[in-house]
């Protein structure tokens, strides 16, 4: 018997903003760009606000937002920054002195 799909449980956990930030950070550090965009879609799916409202808030169409977050998506830094801001997050750069 196959296991229970993880996505519904993940979506519930991503409603916690701290968990969502940790999740995105982990995926960004250890996975591909495509995996990060999928993770970002999961975070968006966990929100109470509709995708259409979020798209309007950042100045793109709903279809444009879906395209931006698709496997072939290549969002502009300014759009990604605005999207994260709408999610209560921001892009930051940090260094590792040992690197």
pLDDT tens per residue, range 10-37: 999 999 999 999 999 999 999 998 999 9
pLDDT computed for residue 4 by the predictor: 52
Answer yes or no: is pLDDT of 51 > 60: yes
pLDDT computed for residue 85 by the predictor: 94
pLDDT tens per residue, range 54-70: 999 999 999 999 999 88
pLDDT computed for residue 1 by the predictor: 42
Cβ contact 10:42 at 8 Å? yes
pTM for this structure? 0.82
Share of the chain above pLDDT 90, in %: 64
């Amino acid at each position: 018997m196959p296991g229970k799909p993880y996505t519904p449980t993940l979506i519930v956990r991503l409603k916690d903003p701290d968990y969502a930030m940790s999740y995105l950070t982990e995926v960004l550090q250890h996975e591909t760009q495509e995996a990060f965009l999928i993770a970002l879609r999961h975070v968006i799916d966990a929100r109470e606000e509709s995708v259409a409202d979020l798209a309007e808030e950042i100045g793109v169409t709903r279809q444009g937002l879906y395209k931006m977050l698709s496997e072939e998506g290549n969002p502009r830094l300014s759009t990604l920054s605005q999207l994260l801001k709408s999610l209560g997050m921001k892009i930051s750069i940090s260094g590792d002195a040992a690197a």
